[in-house]
Structure 1
Amino acid sequence: MLKVRAVCLNHRDLLMIQGTYGPRRPEHRVPVSDGVGEVLHVGAGVAGFSVGDRVICPHFATWLDGAFDLRYFGEDLGITQDGWLAEQIVVPAQSLVKVPDALTDSQAAALSAAALTAWNALVDVGQIKAGDLVLALGTGGVSIFALQLAKLHGARVAITSSSDQKLSQARKLGADITINYRTHPNWAAELLNANGQRGADIVVETGGLATLASSIAAAAPNGRLALIGALAATPAEGAPTLDNLFGIVGKNLTLRGITAGNRRMLQSLVNAISVGNIEPVIDKELSFDEAPEAYRHLLGGHHLGKVLIRVSD
């Protein structure tokens, strides 16, 4: 059993309470997939954890290692099982990852969903290496973590937004190329112009069908596209056509769906965050009683990075 200290919201949390993230969930379902807790009680036979330890876990609580399997949806915290937006939560001990003393609650609370998804996209799928160009769409939680983690690996980063102010903040975080997609609707061509007509080696594709055609155009030969979300718009506004088939085949692209990550990846991520001393970008922090306001702030779409809810000290 864990005492919840802090949680961070993700887009999936919005969709869950709106009833649009798969089947409608029971009204009593406790939401939120991302948080950090303190061990209050350790079950019989559990080793490696003590009362007082701070811990996190992947939201697919039983996905410990290896390839993804559909059965993991049955243990999806905040969706098919009760999640983190509570004073206490019970999770399997085998799922837990200890939080090092060097990491704050704010650093740890944001890791298990958005950061873990970005890690999977860049490291396990993208096989990132120094010198790669990573393209991240937008400035939400996954994209900002992708920016920070890519820089930690010695990669260059291009990022898009409709806000010049957000792009300015992204440059302060290390972005090498910033593109306002409202000013430059053909942002794929803008990226090529900014990078000597070579595209991105890894594309963190959070927009979905509305942006996928442009992401294919923006990818370099042998590029890896990690398909993560559908935040941009309806498919009719920019869905790929058969014309894009040449881009996929002709450039030998890899398109891979990303469903967060497993416990092994999360442990590697925690190690990297500790060594690199990465500070998650927290757009707004609210109290447990202000949770509805936190959801409204995320829904507004004006945030950069994460929205955090402080549950306890």
Structure 2
Amino acid sequence: MRAYEIGPQDGLDSLRLVERDTPTPCPGEVAVKVHAVCLNHRDLLTLKGQYGALKSEDRIPVSDGVGSVTALGDNVSGVEIGQRVIAPNFVTWLDGKFTPAIFGQDLGISRDGWLAETIIMPADAIIAVPDGVSDDAAASIAAAGSTIWNCICAFGGLEKGDLVLTLGTGGVSILTLQIAKALGAQVAITSSSNDKLERCKAMGADFCVNYRENEDWPTALMAETGGRGADIIVETAGLNSIEQSIAACAPNGRIALIGALSGQLDKVPQLAGLIGKNVTMKGITAGNREMLGELVDLISRTGLEPLIDRKFTFDDAPAAFTYLESGDHMGKVMITL
């Protein structure tokens, strides 16, 4: 079979296409023929050697994908050949609270990921994809979607009518917009592009702020919301923007810190606003299988279709990584097989 490896992790050119024997499942595992995968920011960091310690050069990357079961290992039940499936990127985190042990089985990081023609999965990690859920939707939700569900539901305690703020228009932020709207929330979103903000409005965003035109964008957002502020913030930029997120927060708001797209911390943030507004801030690593299953149910019920910005063929996978790095995308970047 064909597969991609992360190589020496010295840049995007590190990605290499190789031929491997098609893997066979051991007891408790299934083999999955891959249909499509979606990229996340951490896939870029991994190729650059910036996502923790360097990995084995033969690691297969990418944590999000969908495929169909082609073979069953011994002692596997409740799974059918041909069944479409996805899995959380932390394949041993089935339910319950976070534990650092989950990092030992992280797709595309500490365990081979989806960017191959066939992959092996633990049978108890997979989730069957309902007939009404497209491959596009299924391939784009495992890592980002379960994380969002943890942020706004498990941690955020979302209630209908709450205001959710998400930063930027990348894959996580656009999916946050779509999921939050499907759950009955209001949504505010930021971008440096008015064209992208207009598209967000068309997708249901209630409040849109251009942070390039409004350097003090929290004040602009407060003006738009009548001084209300956000009940839940999905903070993708990192601690460099945390002061602004606190300023945009409503009293008793919840900030889910999930990323660091703004880069390394360049100053010590002032966090007094957490106390003044009684704000709760929590780091969110990802979501578990149970959370991902709840999201699949929501998509099945509502017909939600995550926004796919562009699709690349398997042969053009390096171009997909380059496009993601450019930041020109809005929504998810997909590779199809």
CA deviation after TM superposition for structure 1 residue 5, in Å: 0.6
CA deviation after TM superposition for structure 1 residue 63, in Å: 0.1
2:39 corresponds to which letter in structure 1?
Answer: L
Which residue does the alignment assign to 2:18? none
Which residue does the alignment assign to 1:281? 307
Which residue does the alignment assign to 2:316? 290
Paired positions, count? 307
1:125 corresponds to which letter in structure 2?
Answer: F
C-alpha separation between the residues in 2 aligned to 1:146 and 1:254?
19
CA RMSD of aligned residues (A): 0.9
Which residue does the alignment assign to 1:166? 196
2:223 partner SS: helix
Which residue does the alignment assign to 1:134? 164
C-alpha separation between the residues in 2 aligned to 1:153 and 1:265?
14
C-alpha separation between the residues in 2 aligned to 1:152 and 1:180?
24
Query: Quick check: which one's helix share is greater?
Result: 1
Task: Deviation per CA, 1:64-122: give whole Å up to 9, x if none.
Answer: 00001001000000001110000000010000000001111111000101111111111
Cα 1:10–1:134 change in 2 (3 A) is same
Pairwise mapping of residues 56-71 of structure 1 onto structure 2 (< 5 A)?
Answer: 56-71=86-101
CA deviation after TM superposition for structure 1 residue 7, in Å: 0.2
Pairwise mapping of residues 172-187 of structure 1 onto structure 2 (< 5 A)?
Answer: 172-187=202-217
1:275 corresponds to which letter in structure 2?
Answer: R
C-alpha separation between the residues in 2 aligned to 1:220 and 1:74?
37
CA deviation after TM superposition for structure 1 residue 239, in Å: 4.7
Task: Deviation per CA, 1:138-188: give whole Å up to 9, x if none.
Answer: 011111111011111111110000011111111111000000000001011
C-alpha separation between the residues in 2 aligned to 1:158 and 1:21?
29
2:281 partner SS: strand
Pairwise mapping of residues 1-313 of structure 1 onto structure 2 (< 5 A)?
Answer: 1-236=31-266, 239-241=268-270, 244-245=271-272, 247-311=273-337
C-alpha separation between the residues in 2 aligned to 1:77 and 1:295?
17
**4+ runs of 1 displaced by more than 4 Å?**
none
Which residue does the alignment assign to 2:15? none
1:97 corresponds to which letter in structure 2?
Answer: I
User: 5+ unaligned residues in a row in structure 1: which ranges?
Assistant: none
C-alpha separation between the residues in 1 aligned to 2:290 and 2:263?
33
How many percent of aligned residue pairs carry the same amino acid?
53
Contact 1:211 1:239 in 2 (8 A): no
C-alpha separation between the residues in 2 aligned to 1:260 and 1:209?
18
1:98 corresponds to which letter in structure 2?
Answer: A
